Amino acid sequence: MDYPLNCVPDHPKESTKHVCIFGTGDFGRSLGYKLLQCGYTVIFGSRDPNSSNLIPKGAEVLKHEEAAKKSTIIVIAIHREHYDFLTGFADILEGKVLVDVSNNLKINQYPESNAEHLASLLPGAKVVKAFNTVSAWALQSGTLDASKQVFICGDDAKAKEAVAEVARSLGLTPLDQGSLLAANEIENYPLQLFPMWRLPFYICAGFTILIFLYCLVIEVFYPCATNKEDTSYLIAISIPNRVFPIVSLILLALVYLPGIIAAIIQLYRGTKYSRFPDWLDKWMLCRKQLGLVALAYAFLHAIYTLVMPIRYYVRWWADKYLMNQIKGNTTYPFQNHYAWMSDSYVALGILGFFFYMLLGITSLPSVSNAVNWREFRFVQSKLGYLTLVLSTAHTLVYGGDRFIFGPFYRWYLPPAFVVSLIIPCAVLVMKFILVIPCLDQRLTKIRQGWERGAKC
């Protein structure tokens, strides 16, 4: 990595802020460069002070012991495996703030966190875990394109504040995570791969595959087996355009189902002070992600629906419909009932999609930070249920006569849209039961701390 020569101002203001960095590797140099830019005096501690010609201009490089004497804050930009050498000059490090920036290759790689390990090697030092979620590249590129969050933890409040101050000077946002016990969790952050999205992804993938296969059986295998008809062209647009809305509706219902299950559990137990089962906790925590995947699928459904008029298959059917009238010298009568059904179906879909979008937008951190808790709950709960009602009604109206029309039940299987209604209808019915005043009042009391059988 090259560092511009102008990283230090020509006439730097007298700086009283010193930071020592042990290790002249990628991270140490990038942090040093950024600190110099922000007016700090940087002293590197290195095994061989003359070896690296990549040191940012303006920084001093000394042997570890010498460098340590020049600053109260020492960033240990060295891999955990090499920490042992620090015990050789433990007396110099006594009382110093040691910033552990290290990461591991695997989650929970060691029995104790790297920061706790460092603290156990140097009990006289004040160890603070920080900066491990900031990459060398982010520091190099001016922290404009990367996360600015610096998770900080440590047992000494003053030491933590000193490190937080350094983070703030670099334009980063320090987030106090508590004592050094939190270091393990902080060290695991950079190793996690979309942890909150995993469950929603599996649920979504599972339903997508299931509904796709179900539609394939009904719409492609059935005509092929019974009439030797090739309808495989439906795989490109028609079947996905059934899968997306169906999975979207099911996922939206699954956003509200855990809340209902939690309410039933609380009513049954007569208290809110006992833990929910783990699976329910996990499910509740990923509701936002489930909702966002549902919104993405609803969006795909909207796009797929817009291309309908330009499809060859649709135009062919429209032409055939017209030709039949011409050949029969007849005009099919206008059916008011069907006009109402089709307009209502489209209107419900548009409104449902509008509220879906509103839900998605309010879940963005920048928007949710701007509304208070009551407003957020109103949008996510009341408007969420309205979206579920509208989307379910959209599907019910789409079904119309088809619910009872025999040819749609192929191999005794109900059409896919009927399957899609099971969970949403169950959720709405249960919600309807829970808002019955006697249950609603009992639930409200429980959520305010009332317990069945408890002495007042």
Among 26, 155, 156, 451, binds ligand NAP (CB under 6 A): 26
Q: How far is the CB of 193 from ligand NAP (least distance, A)?
A: 17
Q: Total residues contacting ligand NAP (rule CB under 6 A)?
A: 19
Which 278-307 positions form the footprint of ligand NAP (CB under 6 A)?
A: none
Find residue 41's DSSP bridge partners: 18
Among 7, 17, 18, 25, binds ligand NAP (CB under 6 A): 25
The residues, any chain, with a CB within 8 Å of residue 97's CB and separated by 6 or more, are: 72, 73, 74, 125, 126, 128, 156, 159, 162, 163
Show the tokens assigned to 86: 């620090």
Q: Does 32 bind ligand NAP (CB under 6 A)?
A: no
Any idea which residue has 């706790």 for tokens?
Answer: 116
The residues, any chain, with a CB within 8 Å of residue 66's CB and separated by 6 or more, are: 45
Q: Does 143 bind ligand NAP (CB under 6 A)?
A: no
Q: Given phi > 0 = left and psi -120 to 50 = alpha, else beta, which region is 178?
A: left
Find residue 73's DSSP bridge partners: 97
CB-nearer residue toward ligand NAP: 25 or 178? 25
Q: Does 78 bind ligand NAP (CB under 6 A)?
A: yes
CB atoms within 10 A of CB 57: 12
Q: How far is the CB of 120 from ligand NAP (least distance, A)?
A: 17
Among 37, 71, 103, 140, binds ligand NAP (CB under 6 A): 103
Among 8, 19, 23, 32, binds ligand NAP (CB under 6 A): 23
Compute, in degrees rounded to 10, the torsion defined by CA atoms 322, 325, 327, 328.
170
Give the range of 3-11, 101-109, 328-336, 403-411 binding ligand NAP by CB under 6 A.
Answer: 101-109
Q: Does 102 bind ligand NAP (CB under 6 A)?
A: yes
Q: How far is the CB of 148 from ligand NAP (least distance, A)?
A: 14
Beta carbons of 204 and 251 less than 8 angstroms apart: yes
Show the tokens assigned to 427: 């959720």
113-132 mask for ligand NAP (x: CB under 6 A)? -------------------x
Between CA 284 and CA 292, with CA 290 as vertex, the angle to 5 degrees is 130
Give the distance between the most distant pair of CA atoms in the chain: 104
Q: Does 188 bind ligand NAP (CB under 6 A)?
A: no
Residues found near ligand NAP in the complex (CB under 6 A): 23-28, 46-47, 77-79, 82, 85, 101-103, 132, 135-136
